[in-house]
Amino acid sequence: MKKSKPILVIAGTLLIGFVLGFFVSGYITSHKIKTFMRWTDKEEFVNRIYERIDATDKQKKQLYPILQKYSEKSTECFNKHKIIIDSMSTELEPYLSSEQKQKLEKCMGCKGENCSPKKNCSSME
């Protein structure tokens, strides 16, 4: 009994470490994705640049037109990428099982009408 106790403690510690690592890794990945998606909102793009450079009120007034222009370009780029991914998904769909389709939809993110309004990906003009 005395020899098995340290082995159980080590095995339990490893198991707890694996479980914690799994959940912490998932949380960090999810947080990074959510942070990235905030860059697709035009006003959020501008505000994040202001925060990063610690812009003064005077600079904000001067920089706003420039940042607005590039936020629109960034959103256009994101929307074009979204169209490409949707097109790829449509072409792959006939060859996939229903389970594979669900996995693909889940990993590709929102699909227009299923998006939250904050993500702004339902307007793909």
How many helices (H) and strands (E) would you count in the chain?
4, 0
**CB neighbours (10 Å) of residue 13?**
10
The pTM score is 0.44
Same domain? 1 vs 52 = no
Same domain? 28 vs 56 = no
Same domain? 60 vs 5 = no
Q: Average pLDDT, whole number, for the chain?
A: 78
Same domain? 61 vs 2 = no
Residue range(s) defining the domain that contains residue 111: 39-125
As a whole number of angstroms, the distance between CA 115 and CA 122 comes to 7
Same domain? 119 vs 65 = yes
Same domain? 17 vs 33 = yes
Work out how many domains the chain is built from and give that number. Answer: 2
Same domain? 31 vs 72 = no
More confident residue, 91 or 30: 91
Same domain? 95 vs 55 = yes
Same domain? 47 vs 108 = yes
Same domain? 123 vs 95 = yes
Same domain? 101 vs 60 = yes
Same domain? 3 vs 17 = yes
pLDDT class for 82, splitting at 50, 70, 90? confident
Residue 63 in this model has a pLDDT that exceeds 80: yes
As a whole number of angstroms, the distance between CA 93 and CA 47 comes to 38
